[in-house]
Structure 1
């Protein structure tokens, strides 16, 4: 039924955008994939192709983005971040600093299938320095999971402290090795030991000692380990307020997190910044694009 309604909305005299929003934002990803399959059977056409042909600008990006499986969407975003006119380092940071081993494995498989090239090779060729090395480490997807050893937490914290003091290439390598490979449980203890040793929070120390995208990536890893929804709330706030509404970032985070932790992100956003995510999107976006973003954002309209 959804496929039939979408067909009517897309193939009529004028595209009925409200109908597209009503259906595609209110179905989960697995349902949208089934709708796309039914659409192909019914019309002999690809739904994504028809969306691209009938829509434009940021509204098209939202509607098409919703149609990708999560791993394929990550792969799509990484490809464009790496192969666009300018490398979009912040996109690489958002995705690779926040995904689990399994998500990274699935993303690499999708990347290879969609673009017939290896993600790590593209990172290697399109980025540089310690930023590249850290991305490459994350893209291996080999972080230890569920393992914590209090006896080595102090040792790791000492290594991090020395890395922040010495700042040599070798120390930078040790820093990123620990942040990229230790389990989240282990790193919680390491961060606490770092505070005990240095009297300073690890994020403050990184911000003082390093700069550029390497520093941003290290901070993102720490923040994602501590509280992923808070990290994405912070990224959304910056994208909305600091960049005059950075559309790509807002779209990517809303779509990628919509079935994972968007409700928690919304909660952190309101707690930290005083106004709801819904309010800020409504203030800066407009038209069907605004309606689509708000429909994904969803929920708790009485608070807005």
Structure 2
């Protein structure tokens, strides 16, 4: 039976929350030539997103200025990205990340894969709504114009938020049938085979996919080929389409482990890819970052906090570390 991990973040609602006092601290911190970055970190990384939005409202009402605008004007570089990113509601943050991934300097396919392969239907619905409101075009329209081939088609399906949800879609007999289709699809590279992969991996519920991958497909792949399904997909397909299929499978298996892998890759394989590290820490900070940290330590030996401190410095490192550790035990 599929068992999703209970969400466990590193940032929680602050006890004895006093938004007027926090707004005053932030306003004072942003005055003068040199900002008090320690105060900014102390407030913004120790309040949940809902509390930060209340602080921003009071800040505006009390001082006649927009907090996000002030942060953008007073701060710089990656530290600014962290502080501003913390002020965005989750769907707003994801929508802006997706837009930047497609309309920045070149297309950041890894960002598209990471977000669209890992978000729930409700999260994707919210992203679509914000994307249209913020940028005046549907998310799928930009995906269609900025990507291509079966990679584009798979992203388009995921962006619909059309995955079945709930245990009523858990069908062992259908899982066996899906596993056979999945096996056949991994033996060929035709358009039809790719369509079959898309249909199963993008539309079936996580509960159903868990059965397909673990209870049936895993055994079949091991017995017949001696390889895991991820290895077979790597052998059969390539490019961003391959990476997207694998990301979906890894998220079905263990989403925390998937994000741990993405963080380690961003830190070591890409010379500390700041945008990826910032995006994952902020977007998972109130969901499952503690689980991600545990998985990171299990997979790579070092704590996530340790590896971040090896490559980031100054107030930027302090902000990332505060998000990473919160008030919880370090891993």
Whether TM exceeds 0.5 here: the answer is yes
5 Å matches for 1:28-43?
A: 28-43=48-63
State the match for 2:233 in structure 1.
206
Q: Which runs of 5+ in 2 are unaligned?
A: 1-20
Are the aligned partners of 2:143 and 2:155 in contact in 1 as well (CA < 8 Å)? yes
State the match for 2:311 in structure 1.
284
Are the aligned partners of 2:188 and 2:236 in contact in 1 as well (CA < 8 Å)? no
Give the deviation of 1:144 after TM superposition. 0.4
Which of 203, 216, 220 is 1:197 aligned to? 220
Instruction: Name the TM-score, length of structure 2 as normaliser.
Output: 0.90
When you count helix as a share of all residues, which structure comes out higher?
Answer: 1
Moved more, 201-210 or 99-108: 201-210
Task: Report Cα offsets for 1:51-108 as digits up to 9, x if no partner.
Answer: 0000000000000000000000000100000111110000000000000000000011
Secondary structure of residue in 1 paired with 2:186? helix
Are the structure 2 counterparts of residues 235 and 47 from structure 1 closer, same or farther at C-alpha, using a change threshold of 3 Å?
A: same
Which of 231, 254, 257 is 1:230 aligned to? 257
Which of 268, 280, 283 is 1:256 aligned to? 283
Give the deviation of 1:196 after TM superposition. 2.6
2:268 is equivalent to residue 241 of structure 1: yes
CA distance in 2 between partners of 1:73 and 1:145 (Å) = 24
CA distance in 2 between partners of 1:301 and 1:257 (Å) = 15
Higher relative contact order, structure no. (Cα contacts within 8 Å, ≥ 6 residues apart)? 2
5 Å matches for 1:125-204?
A: 125-146=145-166, 147-192=169-214, 193-199=216-222, 200-204=227-231
Runs of 4 or more, structure 1, over 6 Å off, are none
2:127 is equivalent to residue 119 of structure 1: no
Instruction: Name the TM-score, length of structure 1 as normaliser.
Output: 0.98
Are the aligned partners of 2:44 and 2:86 in contact in 1 as well (CA < 8 Å)? yes
Are the structure 2 counterparts of residues 302 and 159 from structure 1 closer, same or farther at C-alpha, using a change threshold of 3 Å?
A: closer
Are the aligned partners of 2:46 and 2:326 in contact in 1 as well (CA < 8 Å)? no
Give the deviation of 1:152 after TM superposition. 1.1
Are the structure 2 counterparts of residues 286 and 157 from structure 1 closer, same or farther at C-alpha, using a change threshold of 3 Å?
A: same
5 Å matches for 1:267-278?
A: 267-278=294-305
State the match for 1:6 in structure 2.
26
CA distance in 2 between partners of 1:33 and 1:299 (Å) = 19
Task: Report Cα offsets for 1:173-207 as digits up to 9, x if no partner.
Answer: 11111000001111111113122323232111111
Secondary structure of residue in 2 paired with 1:245? coil
Are the aligned partners of 1:188 and 1:226 in contact in 2 as well (CA < 8 Å)? yes
